[in-house]
Every structure is written in C-alpha cells, then in structure tokens.
Amino acid sequence: MATNRRDFIKRAVLALVAIPLMSSRTDVLADETNNDGIMKKIMIIDGGPRKNMNTAAMLGKVAEGASQAGAEVKVVRLYDMNYKGCVSCLACKVKGRASNVCKFKDALTPVLEEIAQADGLVLGSPIYFGDVTGQMRTFLERLAFPWLSYNDYSMTAPKKMPVLLIETMNGQPERNNSQGYGSMEYCIASAIGQPEHLVAYNTYQVRNYNNFELAGFSEEAKRRWRDEHWEEDLQKAYDAGKRMVE
C-alpha cells in the first residue's frame, strides 16, 4: 500500500510538471505570539460536509489544543462556501506580476490570503472513494497552483509553517483504499513544509447502524474499534494542535 501510494504521488507530480499550460462560516475560537510579537494564528480547513461527525470532531480537538496553547484559531468550513477550483486564468503567472496567492476573486479569496499570513495550517477531510472530498481537492487547486513556477517548476508558498493533514475513513490501518492528499501532499511538502499526519480509521459512519442499509458493516465490530481508538484519536488531534503552536 505504501509503495502504491508513493508511485501514485510520483505519477501525479510528473503529470503536473509535464503539462505546462494546460457562504463561508469561519469561527475565531480564541496567546502565543509569532516572531513579530503577534498572536499566532492557526487556520483549520474542514473539507467534510458534516458539522458534528468524525472529521469535524477531530478538527475541533486540534482547535481546542491550539487555542489552549494560546493561538488564535480560525475554522473554515468549505461546504458552507461558494467557490471554484482553479479556473486556469493564469493571473498568478502574469509577467512581472506573478503571485503565489490565487488572484481569482470569490469566497475563497480572503481565506487564501489569511493562510498566506498564518502560522500553521490544518486540513481535514473524510476519504471519499479513496481520495479527499471534491471540496477539499477544489480548495487545494486554488491554494497550490500559484505556488508552482512554470519557469523552473519550483514550488514556493508565501510562508513556511507547520502543516497537519487529517483523514477519517472506514478503512483500517492494514486494509484501506486511501490515497490521502495524493499529489497535493507533494506540493504542500515542497512549498510550506513536511506535513504531520493524523488518521482516524474505521470511524462510525452513522450514529445508529440499525436505521440504514449498512449490512456490510458490523456495528458490534465498529463499536469495539471505537471504544479502543476514538478517544485516543481525539487526544492525538488535541496534542497535535497544541504542538503546532508550541
């Protein structure tokens, strides 16, 4: 699985390099200062649709940890926003006015500008058909394309910062189909910094399995897994949020 994932990322990155030119809800929850003596700001991007389920819970714990460590935390819920992926306007690559922050104007614009100034970035997504959600992928296009130079294929973000990537899924550590953040992870690692990972496996997909046609899952086995792992997953998320600030 690890080799497949590496091959996939390599292929996706080669494809990228080989084809030259081809209502938001945000919560400020909370003081740890950055080098300029300003309170550190952590941006949390929730790429899941459900406000009270697994991904949101993991991100909530990251927010709690970062906020308790003294940072200002902002949670952005992508599913509440109206925005597009990269529209290939190439405004970020105009001669003499190139920008490593997307120039296209829509609801995502202020979020991308805030990320450019932030002190930490957290991305969270459920895994859908082996990938992050479409909403997360669409957001990542807008975040990462301006980083890519078509002059020398380097990747440069406005600022380096700690990054945490979170996935939640039905799959288990030894058996899952997740490609995670795929080729976008290479872009993030090159441009902002090597990300830390957190995965919540074998999550409870619904609160009551009796109400749904989900016979392929044993609720009993799910419950046992949750009893053994879920609190630990949340604690890891809290600790990662705290670490990001400290």
Query: Applying CB under 6 A, does 55 fall inside the site for ligand FMN?
Result: yes
Is 75 or 127 the residue whose CB approaches ligand FMN more closely?
127
165 contact partners, CB below 8 Å, separation of at least 6? 123, 124, 180, 181, 185, 188, 195, 196, 197, 198
Q: Which stretch binds ligand FMN (CB under 6 A): 3-11, 37-45, 47-55, 81-89?
A: 47-55
Q: Which stretch binds ligand FMN (CB under 6 A): 31-39, 69-77, 93-101, 164-172?
A: 164-172
- Distance from chain centroid for Cα 235: 19
Q: Name the DSSP letter for residue 75.
A: E
Query: Applying CB under 6 A, does 168 fall inside the site for ligand FMN?
Result: yes
Size of the site for ligand FMN (CB under 6 A): 19
Query: Applying CB under 6 A, does 48 fall inside the site for ligand FMN?
Result: yes
DSSP H or E segment with residue 222: helix 219-245
Query: Applying CB under 6 A, does 129 fall inside the site for ligand FMN?
Result: yes
- Distance from chain centroid for Cα 113: 16
Given 163, 169, 184, 245, the residue binding ligand FMN (CB under 6 A): 169
Given 92, 203, 237, 238, the residue binding ligand FMN (CB under 6 A): 203
Given 50, 84, 160, 224, the residue binding ligand FMN (CB under 6 A): 50
Given 60, 65, 120, 126, the residue binding ligand FMN (CB under 6 A): 126
Task: Give the dihedral sign, CA 82/85/88/94.
Answer: positive
DSSP H or E segment with residue 26: strand 26-28
Residue 43 CB, nearest approach to ligand FMN (Å): 19
Q: Which of 61, 76, 74 is nearest to 25 (CA)?
A: 76
Residue 141 and residue 150: Cα distance in Å, rounded?
A: 15
Residue 215 and residue 112: Cα distance in Å, rounded?
A: 42
Residue 179 CB, nearest approach to ligand FMN (Å): 9
Is 86 or 214 the residue whose CB approaches ligand FMN more closely?
214
Is 126 or 241 the residue whose CB approaches ligand FMN more closely?
126
What six digits make up the tokens of 131? Answer: 């990938």
Interface positions with ligand FMN (CB under 6 A)? 48, 50, 53-56, 126-130, 168-171, 176-177, 203, 205
